[in-house]
Structure 1
Amino acid sequence: MKRDYRFIYLFVVGVFVMTSTITAQDYFSNFPVRANPKTVGKKVSSRLMETKHQLYGDRGIHYAEVCTWYGALRFAEMTNDQELIKKLRERFELLFHLEKDLLPPPIHVDQNMFGCLPLKLYRMTKDERYKELGLPYADTQWILPEKANDEERKWHKKGYSWQTRLWIDDMYMITIVQAEAYHVTGDKKYINRAAKEMVLYLDEIQRENGLFYHAPDVPFYWGRGDGWMAVGMTELLFNLPENDPNRQRILKGYRLMMENLKKYVNEDGLWNQLIDEKDCWTETSGSAMFTYAMIQGVKNGWLDKDEYGPIARRAWLGLCNYLDDNNDLMEVCIGTGKKNSHQYYLDRPRITGDYHGQAPIIWCAYALLSE
């Protein structure tokens, strides 16, 4: 009988250990109701339909709204939410006639990224109008305008986009429209352009600690700015062919950044407005971008799941704590140009419901739901 009891005991212990191991590895499921990615993603995506366009004055729809709209489309596609897709298309349909004046002119890296939106819609619907509208935004990033300045001509001559600035914001804006053009046309020139551009930025402005100054002449690790680099590398790794010659360089830069971001997680499980300053305030838009990058890294095998899975899970739960009753993300840094002033970044106003924050929390939701 003693042997039988010992066998039963060992069997029960073994089952417990196996179950505990499986649960510990399953970092992206079994969320509390308030943090269910399908629910959160639907609510924040639907919130877009309740808000007005964000504009650049007379320069068309703002890139932050484009990022949110694009994220909502990817979420709706991921969840096969046909009603949401219909509403998102209806919002866009006005840009073909009544709101045509709101189309951004392709004159700046921020305006050109608008093209990712119609190109994504083309991939979902095969409506040629979207393709005809979207492709010129990708193409004109590499077509030098007649009134280009010397700096723009220099980069163009070297085979880079004339919109190159070495600002860290750029590498999501360029990547996302070129990646969509690649998928729409099947022409590798688009994704190769984006990869070459990313390697330039990594070589020129990534620091030894894996992070990035806002610009070469602005030596501060601004959260959302670094977030743009994180999601830009993530989208490239997600879209680049495995045998692309630039892939390993980008993966190296991505992993270096993720490794160092671990050191700066704050008590909320998130990151600060100035990443490396412990006394700074929690900023949610950059935090959401880092979370998205880590979720995709774990899901796609670029990062060790047991090392980064718990960090990404905690960050997602932390972000959901910053959603208010209107499904607006709080503590989002206002739109920010570069300035060589430490106090400037500390004093940036914090707002609620800004598209800079709405977009990446939707990205996180569909990343969590992906296979």
Structure 2
Amino acid sequence: MKKLILPLLVLASTGAFAQSYFSRWPKGTSPTEIGTRVTERFIATPHTNFNRPGPPKFITYPETCTWLGALTFTRLAGNKALNTQLAERFEPLFGAEENLIPPVLNVDYAVFGSVPLELFQQTGDKRYLTLGQRIADEQWGKPSREQVKKILPAILPWLDKGLSWHTRFWIDDMYMITALQTQAYRATKDKTYLDRAATEMVAYLDELQQANGLFYHAPDVPYFWGRGDGWMAAGMSELLRSMPKDHPARPRILKGYHTMMASLLKYQDADGMWHQLIDDPNSWPETSSTGMFTFAFVTGVKEGWLDAKTYGPAARKAWLRLITYLNEQSDIREVCEGTNKKNDHQYYLDRKRVTGDLHGQAPLLWCATAFLRK
């Protein structure tokens, strides 16, 4: 029995430290209050097309990510009324708005499947499982090698290593692909989906992570773009949460995660924010990346992967500064607009800063969810 005392004390101590940093919020700043505001704002927002006029042709990935965050937040917050409204938002997609379901043509479209898979886990309604699992399977099963030769022949060698035909080695993918496949694993308990996500993540770690722990946007774009690295941080965090400790890929992914978190800690501003280009202090403080990094810190502390005394205060500082960017309409400011990749430093500095973009709303809800997890 004596041998168990120290590990138990360590776990209890970690939990106590985490709780001390993630509680006693000033009025109006708690994750529950902020999450509720941002969820209500999302429910009141129609399907949007990347801030362009008119409705989208398909549900966009920023909406998907915000929807997913709202669903997980309301479940943990016990807000049944908002949770029901989020499910009701989906119902037309089984009927009159079925045309808005994205085709499984790329990572940005396919991540949509994570929402019905979450709804299945919360409701048990198999309509959601059927839809979400189909999308997850198509991400690996289509198209044929002959079609790939026409679409993106450069990835053919990667297909032989078990990667998705959606592979393109942009860091954005490491949330889009792994979120979908991890959700499919959570919904079905089929290890195939977890193995897919893990295999993909290890390949991206090997290809894109640099010696300083951060990630180039793509192999031919040697810049540490804030939100791009944010997708990676969030993707690793979510994948690791579902990986058994004996999974063969877990040590590699955890190493990549630890290396990245240590680097992010060094680049965090004194006020808690991170910048549009992480290693360029002259670039502007950017909210979507800050939200994603905060989520990764909070998750790491809660799960015991990160030292609570070190990362707990950093996460709290980031959250309290981040939410000062929320306006009276619960729209967050200083969000980098949707961004392609380009081998041009100035391109990233010149991206528009927008308000209320769902790229920025989503990470707020992920953070609120992470704070509420036990």
Q: Does TM-score exceed 0.5, indicating one fold?
A: yes
Aligned partner of 1:160 among 154, 163, 166: 163
Q: 1:96 matched to which residue of 2?
A: 94
List alignment gaps of at least 5 residues for structure 2. 1-15
Matched to 2:218, the amino acid is: A
The correspondence of residues 196-275 of structure 1 with structure 2, limited to 5 A, is 196-275=199-278
Is contact 1:144–1:156 with CA below 8 Å preserved after alignment?
Answer: no
Matched to 1:105, the amino acid is: P
Q: 1:132 matched to which residue of 2?
A: 130
Aligned equivalents of 2:128 and 2:282: distance in 1? 46
Q: 1:74 matched to which residue of 2?
A: 72
Task: Give the C-alpha shift of residue 33 in structure 1.
Answer: 1.3
Pair member with larger Rg: 1
TM-score (norm 2): 0.91
RMSD of aligned Cα (Å): 1.4
Please state if 1:360 is matched with 2:363: yes
Is contact 1:234–1:296 with CA below 8 Å preserved after alignment?
Answer: yes
Aligned equivalents of 1:142 and 1:52: distance in 2? 31
1:98-138 CA distances to partner (integer Å, 9 max, x unpaired)? 21111100010111111000011011111111111111110
Cα–Cα, structure 1 residues 311 and 152, in superposed 2: closer, same or farther, change >3 Å?
same
Aligned equivalents of 2:184 and 2:138: distance in 1? 12
Aligned partner of 1:292 among 290, 295, 309: 295
Q: 2:46 matched to which residue of 1?
A: 52
Matched to 1:243, the amino acid is: D
Matched to 2:168, the amino acid is: R
1:121-160 CA distances to partner (integer Å, 9 max, x unpaired)? 0111111111111111100111131422322433222211
Matched to 1:339, the amino acid is: K
Cα–Cα, structure 1 residues 193 and 266, in superposed 2: closer, same or farther, change >3 Å?
same
TM-score (norm 1): 0.92
Task: Give the C-alpha shift of residue 351 in structure 1.
Answer: 0.4
1:38-65 CA distances to partner (integer Å, 9 max, x unpaired)? 0100110111111121247865110010
Matched to 1:80, the amino acid is: G
Cα–Cα, structure 1 residues 207 and 78, in superposed 2: closer, same or farther, change >3 Å?
same
Is contact 2:17–2:309 with CA below 8 Å preserved after alignment?
Answer: no
Aligned equivalents of 2:97 and 2:323: distance in 1? 34
1:177-220 CA distances to partner (integer Å, 9 max, x unpaired)? 11111112111010011011101111111000000011010111
Aligned equivalents of 1:140 and 1:215: distance in 2? 24
Identity among equivalent positions (%) equals: 54
Q: 1:118 matched to which residue of 2?
A: 116
Aligned equivalents of 2:353 and 2:26: distance in 1? 27
Task: Give the C-alpha shift of residue 253 in structure 1.
Answer: 0.4
Aligned partner of 1:41 among 35, 41, 45: 35
Matched to 1:163, the amino acid is: H
The correspondence of residues 154-193 of structure 1 with structure 2, limited to 5 A, is 154-193=157-196
Q: 1:314 matched to which residue of 2?
A: 317
1:12-53 CA distances to partner (integer Å, 9 max, x unpaired)? xxxxxxxxxx78971000111121110100110111111121
The correspondence of residues 3-42 of structure 1 with structure 2, limited to 5 A, is 26-42=20-36
Is contact 2:298–2:370 with CA below 8 Å preserved after alignment?
Answer: yes
Matched to 1:194, the amino acid is: A
1:246-276 CA distances to partner (integer Å, 9 max, x unpaired)? 0011110000000011111124311000000
Is contact 2:17–2:308 with CA below 8 Å preserved after alignment?
Answer: no
Q: 2:62 matched to which residue of 1?
A: 64
Task: Give the C-alpha shift of residue 353 in structure 1.
Answer: 0.6
Q: 1:148 matched to which residue of 2?
A: 148
Aligned equivalents of 1:268 and 1:332: distance in 2? 17
Helix, strand or coil: the match of 1:142?
helix
Is contact 1:59–1:105 with CA below 8 Å preserved after alignment?
Answer: no
Matched to 2:85, the amino acid is: K
Q: 2:333 matched to which residue of 1?
A: 330
Aligned equivalents of 1:168 and 1:297: distance in 2? 20
Cα–Cα, structure 1 residues 360 and 24, in superposed 2: closer, same or farther, change >3 Å?
closer
Cα–Cα, structure 1 residues 288 and 55, in superposed 2: closer, same or farther, change >3 Å?
same
List alignment gaps of at least 5 residues for structure 1. 1-21
Cα–Cα, structure 1 residues 263 and 61, in superposed 2: closer, same or farther, change >3 Å?
same
Q: 1:304 matched to which residue of 2?
A: 307
